[in-house]
Structure formats: C-alpha cells, structure tokens
C-alpha cells in the first residue's frame, strides 16, 4: 500500500465525492430542500464530519485554508455568477448597487467597529484590551455581505429579479471595498503612527482597486473573445479558453492587489456575448454546464468546510462580544438600508418598497469570505475571539436568517420572479422603449443610462464586433440547420413540380420572421420569399425583427444555479416552426 504517493489527489477527489453525494442525498427526499436551505444542510454535514475527525484524532480538524478558498474555491462561483448575470437588471440598477456596496459597506464597517469599541469599554466584559483599530479591522471583515451565501439562499426563494440583483450585486461589488478596508486597517494595526496622508491614500485606493479590477477583467475578457475567433478548426478546446482567461483575470487582479471578484465578473460579462457567438453550440453547452457544475461543487465544498472548521479549539467564547456583534450586524445593516434607500427612492420613479427594504436588510448573509479573512489576520492575543464571533455570525445568518427568509417572503407577499421568460411581444416593446428613451434623452440633452447604452451598442456593432466576432460562422442551433435543409429540399421539390411563383402565404411570412428570432441570417437564405414580396418592405420587417429579436435565445428566465437558462426553448421554437410549416402545406 502506497498511500503517500496518491494522497493529495485522492483526498481532494474524496472530498469532492462527499460533497456530490451529500447533494444527491438531500435531493432524494424532496421535502427536505424545500424547508431547509441546502447551505444549512451542508454546514450540518460539515459539523458532523468535523465532529468525527475531532473525536477520532482528539485534535481540532483542519480549518479551511484561506489560500485554497481564495485561489480555488471562490473563482468558479464568481465566474458562474458573472457569466450568468442578467445584465439588463444589473446595469439598470448599477447606481443603487454601487451605493449599497460602497457607502453601505463603509457605513457598516464603521458602525459595527465603533459600537463594538463602545462595548469593549464596559469593564464587566473584560474586553478593554481590544483597541479601536482592531475593532474596525474586525468590522471590515464582518460587514461585507457574502456572495456565496446570498446566492445559495436567494436562488431558492425566487424573489423578483430587481430585489435579487440588488442584494447579489451588492455582495459581489463590495469586494473592492472590503479588500481595501481590510488591508488598510491591517496595515494600520502594524504601523506605530498613522498619518492623515495614509487615510487619503486609503480612500484613493478604493478607485484603484475597483476600477483596476474592471480594467483587468475587461482586458482578459476581450482577449478571450478575440482568441475564440481562431478556434474553428479545433473546437474541442474552445471551452477551455473561457475558463483559462477568466481565471487568469482573477489571478492577475489578486497579484496586483486589485479586486479579483470584480475582475472575474468584468471578464465574464465582457466576453460572454462574443464568445457565445464564436464558439460552437456544443462548446457553449459544455461551458455553461461545466460552469454550473464547478460552481455547484465549490459552493458545496465551502459550506462543508465551514462546518468542519467550526469544530475545534480555535475559539474564545466571550459571549457578550459575540452577541453584540450579531446584534450590531443586524442593526447597522437595517439602518444602512433604510437611509440609503431613502436617498435612492428620491431619485427613482420605480421605488424600493418597504417590504423590499426589509428583505434587502434581512438578506445580508455572511459567509466563507469573512471566515477566510479572519483566519488571515495577523496573530494577536484576541484572534480566537474574532474567530468565534465570525463563526457565530455566519452560522446565525445562514441558519436563522437563511431558514426564515422564505417564510418571511411568503408572509410579506414580496413580489416573486415571473415564471416564464418574456414573450416575443414584450421583448419587442422593451427594445422599442429603449430606443425611444435614448432618443428622448438625446433630444433633451440629458446623458442618462439609455443614452450611454445606445452609444455603447453603436460602438459595439461598429468596432468591437468586427474585431471579435468570426461573423461568417455564427452558431446555429441544430434545429435551425435541420430546418434549413428541409426548406431547401422543399424548394427543390416545389421547383420540380413546377409550383413556384405563388405568393407566400401568411404563415410562411410569419415563419420567416420567426426564424429571425433564432438567427437573423436564416431569413436571407429564403431567397424565393424575398423576391416575391416588395424588397423594401421585407427588409424593413426583417431589420426590425432582427434588431429586436436576435438575442432571444440568450435571454433565459431569472438566475438560478441549478438550471441552465433556456434549456427547453429550442425545442419549443422548432415545434412552433414545424406546426406552422405543417399548416402551410
């Protein structure tokens, strides 16, 4: 027996296997996941595992390594989140999200830090040796809402898209703030004197870390898109580039102390539409599927490790400090959301209701990021207290808040996500309104989001697409290809039977429009049809439809980690095509 030799891969494989089997186990009983969120169950499994290890070895089980977490477990989840991010609601609410992420997080950090410092002054608690700076450092790591925990809970409760994107977007973008504040306070802790210039440098770093991350991400994203232009002859490695470039963007950002999370999201969002257009349909399925799979496994492992790491002797149980931490986390977040939303609502027509505000405040879950950061703290005598407090906050938010948020959403009758994807008609109207509003903004000289969106779209179609897309080979679903073949055969048959020259029926016209929705090129192959109609009218119709409909295949229902968007769609479309075809015969 030579266990030493295979130990590392063997143990990694076994952990992943345990995680996957645990996931299967939960889903065998349908009722369990509908009551208790999966994250809670996984932490529970972790606790049991940790207990077993502790019982057998009589020493604390290994804690989750911060490096493993930040370098290997976090990126797949963030990549998945960025790649499947519904970009429209995200950019529509970007202002609000940034306000919550930046101002809200700072508010929480200082709020929690100063109030805990206040608690430390109470002599009865014996905490007078915890300095203000240490409290602020602790605040900086405990304040940030965790994307992994938020995703795990929110994808199960299916609130409406805006509410989801507000909480989830905040949890992603606050990374830049957390990184800066955490590193700032940590270096302050090690400095003897703090000059005021250091504080200004800290403020400047916000922008560097955040915008630097975006820049790194976009650079890698566009390079990835450019690379996939040349993979036509070697389809099998196409999916690889999506993963390689996004991971490189994360690592590069981390290397320069920028926000890796922001970088990978910018990379994923930047490359998505070009890569999708360049790579084959099968490659795309693989990319989507593997991303989901990978993030799902990472997420499972994180929660199991959280559970395992909780067991042991790393904690100092000073209950007043711990309890006040939980209370302050709740209070300051609630206050922050209230105040910020008050300002947000003054500038928006579509306001955030008080129910929504409650869910936003209540959905501020903490997770593995805090946990990894607290272990990364430099050694000092109260580190174990911070670890204990962080553990309790995480378990409290994941278990208590995570398990009660679904009944609360039901009780408050919060607006839920719509069941079905928007119809073609709705899509057309949304697009039409966008153009209209862009025009109005242009005329009124107001540079709003529609104006910028329009400019960006222009820039994209004029320059970016030409550089990044391999246009002559756009992906077609196999159904469309099949349809094209049949269409060609049918045309030959008609020609042989001498039946050409008839005006096309209404259904075949509809059909040509319908095909546009799948691919704006198909209609062009339908030459006969074009010749019989007035070309100008037809071109107009086609242009309108093509512009408005060409992305329908890409628009799925709201974000959910366990399903792939638009799964059943092509079949339904094709079915409709074939039924129309049927009738026209």
What does the binding site for a copy of itself look like in residue numbers (CB under 8 A)? 1-3, 5-6, 8-10, 13-14, 16-17, 20-21, 23-24, 27-28, 30, 67, 71-72, 227, 230-231, 233-234, 236-237, 239-241, 244, 247-248, 251-252, 254-257, 282-283, 285-286, 289-290, 292-293, 296-297, 478-479, 481-482, 485-486, 489, 561-562, 564, 567, 570-571, 574-575, 578-579, 582, 585
| Tokens describing residue 579 | 């039924």
Query: Smallest distance from the beta carbon of 489 to a copy of itself, in angstroms?
Result: 7
Query: Smallest distance from the beta carbon of 255 to a copy of itself, in angstroms?
Result: 5
| Tokens describing residue 58 | 């009589």
Rank residues 67 and 410 by Cβ distance to a copy of itself and give the closer one. 67
Task: Give the Å distances, CA to CA, from 84 to 75, 88, 175, 226, 276.
Answer: 14, 12, 19, 20, 12
| Tokens describing residue 547 | 């512009």
> Tokens 């976009």 correspond to what residue?
218
Rank residues 74 and 359 by Cβ distance to a copy of itself and give the closer one. 74
| Tokens describing residue 542 | 């086609």
Distant-in-sequence, close-in-space partners of 5: CB < 8 Å, separation ≥ 6: none
The DSSP result for 185-246, as a single string, is HHHHHH-SS--HHHHHHHHHHHHHHHHHHHHHHHHHHHHHHHHGGG-TT-GGGHHHHHHHHH
Rank residues 174 and 231 by Cβ distance to a copy of itself and give the closer one. 231
CA distance 126 to 398: 29
Query: Smallest distance from the beta carbon of 249 to a copy of itself, in angstroms?
Result: 10
Burial of 474 (0-12, 13-18, 19+ CB in 10 A): middle
Smallest Cα–Cα separation from 84: which of 227, 253, 298, 289?
289
CA distance 43 to 304: 5
Rank residues 180 and 438 by Cβ distance to a copy of itself and give the closer one. 180
Rank residues 233 and 496 by Cβ distance to a copy of itself and give the closer one. 233
Rank residues 9 and 378 by Cβ distance to a copy of itself and give the closer one. 9
- Please report which helix (H) or strand (E) contains residue 149, including its range: helix 147-157
Rank residues 455 and 485 by Cβ distance to a copy of itself and give the closer one. 485
CA distance 392 to 575: 53
CA distance 84 to 19: 23
Rank residues 81 and 166 by Cβ distance to a copy of itself and give the closer one. 81
Query: Smallest distance from the beta carbon of 281 to a copy of itself, in angstroms?
Result: 9
Residue 416, classed as helix, strand or coil, is strand
């Amino acid at each position: 027996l030579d266990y030493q030799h295979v130990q590392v891969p063997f143990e990694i494989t076994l952990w992943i296997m345990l995680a996957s089997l645990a996931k299967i186990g939960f889903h065998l009983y349908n009722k369990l996941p509908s009551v208790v969120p999966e994250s809670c169950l996984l932490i529970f499994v972790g606790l049991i595992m940790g207990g077993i290890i502790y019982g057998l070895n009589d020493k604390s089980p290994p804690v989750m390594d911060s490096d493993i977490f930040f370098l290997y477990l976090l990126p797949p989840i963030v990549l998945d989140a960025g790649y499947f991010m519904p970009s429209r609601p995200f950019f529509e609410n970007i202002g609000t999200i940034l306000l919550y992420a930046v101002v809200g997080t700072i508010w929480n950090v200082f709020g929690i830090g100063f109030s805990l410092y206040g608690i430390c002054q109470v002599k009865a608690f014996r905490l007078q040796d915890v300095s203000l700076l240490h409290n602020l450092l602790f605040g900086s790591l405990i304040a940030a809402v965790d994307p992994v925990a938020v995703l795990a809970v929110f994808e199960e409760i299916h609130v409406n898209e805006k509410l989801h994107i507000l909480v989830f977007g905040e949890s992603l973008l606050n990374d830049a703030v957390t990184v800066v504040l955490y590193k700032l306070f940590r270096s302050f802790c090690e400095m003897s004197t703090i000059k005021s210039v250091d504080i200004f440098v800290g403020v400047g770093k916000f922008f560097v870390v955040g915008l630097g991350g975006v820049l790194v991400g976009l650079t890698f994203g566009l390079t990835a898109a450019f690379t996939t232009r040349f993979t036509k002859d070697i389809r099998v490695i196409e999916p690889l580039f999506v993963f390689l470039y996004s991971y490189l963007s994360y690592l590069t950002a981390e290397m320069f102390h920028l926000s890796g999370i922001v970088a990978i999201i910018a990379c994923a969002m930047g490359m998505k539409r070009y890569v999708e257009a360049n790579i084959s349909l099968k490659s795309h399925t693989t990319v989507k599927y593997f991303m989901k799979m990978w993030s799902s496994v990472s997420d499972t492992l994180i929660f199991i490790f959280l559970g395992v790491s909780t067991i042991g002797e790393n904690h100092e149980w000073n209950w007043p400090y711990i309890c006040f931490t939980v209370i302050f986390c709740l209070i300051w977040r609630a206050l922050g959301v209230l105040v910020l939303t008050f300002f947000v609502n003054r500038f928006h027509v579509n306001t955030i209701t008080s129910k929504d505000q409650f869910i936003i405040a209540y959905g501020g879950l903490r997770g593995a990021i805090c946990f990894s950061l607290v272990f990364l703290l430099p050694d000092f005598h109260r580190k174990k207290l911070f670890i204990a407090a962080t553990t309790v906050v995480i378990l409290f938010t994941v278990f208590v808040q995570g398990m009660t948020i679904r009944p609360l959403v039901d009780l408050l009758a919060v607006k839920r996500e719509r069941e079905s994807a928007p119809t073609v008609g709705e899509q057309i109207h949304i697009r039409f309104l966008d153009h209209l509003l862009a025009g109005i903004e242009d005329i009124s000289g107001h540079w709003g989001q529609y104006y910028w969106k329009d400019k960006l779209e222009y820039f994209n179609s004029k320059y970016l697409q030409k550089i990044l897309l391999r246009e002559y080979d756009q992906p077609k679903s196999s159904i469309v290809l099949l349809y094209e073949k049949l269409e060609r055969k049918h045309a030959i048959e008609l020609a042989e039977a001498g039946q050409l020259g008839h005006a096309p029926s209404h259904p075949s016209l509809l059909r040509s429009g319908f095909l546009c929705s799948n691919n704006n090129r198909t209609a062009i192959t339908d030459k006969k049809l074009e010749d019989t109609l007035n070309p100008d009218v037809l071109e107009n119709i086609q242009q309108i439809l093509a512009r408005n409909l060409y992305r329908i295949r890409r628009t799925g229902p709201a974000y959910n980690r366990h399903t792939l968007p638009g799964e059943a769609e092509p079949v339904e479309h094709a079915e409709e095509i074939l039924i129309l075809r049927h009738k026209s015969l």
